[in-house]
Amino acid sequence: MAHPAVRDAAVVGAPDPDLGQRVAGFVQVADGAPGVDVSEILAFATERLADYKVPETLEIVYEIPRNTLGKIDRRLLLTMISECESRDTICF
């Protein structure tokens, strides 16, 4: 992603009972970036991506998890979503 406040980003297909999956995004904020506004990052992505590629939700995380090969650990991101949902809090 080219947004100056984003250091790293990832998206996963979050389970959805109606549609099967919804796009959920995660971003790691760049060091020294001033207060980051999630809606600003989503607007930036909306201008540059096709509608179906824009995440419906965006979560700021300390670090995007990666496996030993350096690839994004999408299973861990999905686990983060399911843990949040199990606490009955609004996460996504």
Give the total number of structural domains in the chain.
1
For 16, the 3-state DSSP assignment is strand
28 domain-assigned: yes
Share of the chain above pLDDT 70, in %: 88
Q: Tens digit of pLDDT for each residue in 7-25?
A: 999 999 988 889 889 999 9
Q: Tens digit of pLDDT for each residue in 44-72?
A: 999 999 998 999 988 888 899 999 999 99
* CA–CA gap between residue 16 and residue 18 (Å, rounded): 6
Give bridge partners of residue 59 from the DSSP assignment.
26
CA neighbor of 74 nearest in space, from 9, 7, 3 = 9
Check which CATH number belongs to the domain holding 57 and give it: 3.30.300.30
Domain of residue 69 covers 6-86
Q: What is the pTM of this model?
A: 0.81
Q: Which run of H or E residues covers position 7?
A: strand 6-16
Quickly state the pLDDT bin for 26 (edges 50, 70, 90).
Answer: very high
Contacts 24+ apart (CB under 8 A), 49-53: 52/23, 53/23
